[in-house]
Amino acid sequence: MPRPFSAPIRRETIAYQNQSLHYTLVFRSRRTLGFAVRPDSSVHISAPAGTSPEWVAQQVLKKADWILKHQQTFASRPAPAPTRRFEASSLHYYQGQPYPLRFVEAPRQTVALVADEIVVSAPQPLSAAHTEALLHAWYAHEAKPIFAASLVRVWPRFAEFNLTRPTLSVRQMRTRWGSCTPRSARIRLSPELVRARPECLDYVLLHECCHLLVGDHSKAFYDLQTRLLPDWERWKQELNALPK
């Protein structure tokens, strides 16, 4: 049985809308051109054997908007981060500062920030899952005034647009930090943002406020976000580095 044709991988770059679009290209025994954007935002093209790289580059240009859309989708997702532990002395964050967990025996289940510790009180020892649930509930309880303060900091940047001030709500989300419904000017934020530094929270809120003007993650959206918060990538990276 003949072995399938395979050629060395080529690394190519094309210019599109004043930016460089990088992709890897490999020629295989296939009839069609295959495009793939991976979670790390790398672009991989599989082309029929005998196809010219110049022709492939033309096809990549035609698909550039599709490629950028998928890259931006992956970029907007929280990146993998260290896993949290829910045991005595394990560190947990509150507004960007790490605090060790301390467990105390008490009649009621409560969580509170006391001096330099997060104190979890309960009448009996708690499982890791139960402790995690209590912390999630505590972050949600703390979120409303913290998010309101963030809006006070962020909203003046949008004064020139004469927009309706958005309504904020707290919603637990598995894969996002926030979401926006432009028509109703409603923004939902994850209570997990209480763990982040105020600057990281402000970045997420500004990101969602930008959706009041641009609904998608197009170049126009990122141009707006960069104009209003030039160092947003710094805060995004820090946010995504928080332990899960």
Distance separating the N- and C-terminal Cα atoms of the chain: 49
Residue 73, pLDDT score: 83
Neighbours of 74 (CB within 10 A): 14
Q: Alpha-carbon distance 106 to 117, whole Å? A: 16
Residue 63 sits in the same domain as residue 108 = no
- pTM value is 0.67
Last residue within a domain, chosen from 18, 47, 75: 75
Last residue within a domain, chosen from 75, 99, 130: 75
Residue 55 sits in the same domain as residue 118 = no
Residue 194 sits in the same domain as residue 167 = yes
Residue 206, pLDDT score: 98
Residue 66 sits in the same domain as residue 107 = no
Residue 200, pLDDT score: 97
Residue 53 inside a domain? The answer is yes
Residue 152 sits in the same domain as residue 98 = yes
Structural domain for 61, as ranges: 10-75
Where does the chain show beta strands of DSSP type E?
A: 10-16, 19-28, 34-37, 43-48, 91-94, 97-105, 110-114, 117-122, 167-170, 178-181, 186-189
Residue 157 sits in the same domain as residue 220 = yes
Q: Answer yes or no: are the C-beta atoms of 81 and 241 closer than 8 Å.
A: yes
Q: How many domains does the chain have?
A: 2
Q: Answer yes or no: are the C-beta atoms of 242 and 196 closer than 8 Å.
A: yes
Which among 129, 132, 123 is positioned nearest to 101, based on CA atoms? 132
Query: What's the CATH code of the domain at 221?
Result: 3.30.2010.10
Residues in the chain, pLDDT under 70 = 1-8, 77-81
Q: Alpha-carbon distance 60 to 177, whole Å? A: 31
Residue 233 inside a domain? The answer is yes
Residue 40, pLDDT score: 78
* Phi, psi dihedrals of residue 120, rounded to the nearest 5°: -105, 115
Residue 30 sits in the same domain as residue 122 = no
Last residue within a domain, chosen from 75, 104, 130: 75
Residue 28, pLDDT score: 84
* Phi, psi dihedrals of residue 13, rounded to the nearest 5°: -140, 135
Residue 145 sits in the same domain as residue 193 = yes
pLDDT digits (tens, 9 = 90+) for 75-103: 776 555 678 999 999 999 999 999 999 99
Residue 244, pLDDT score: 78
Element (H or E) spanning 23, and its range?
A: strand 19-28
Residue 30, pLDDT score: 85
Residue 83 inside a domain? The answer is no
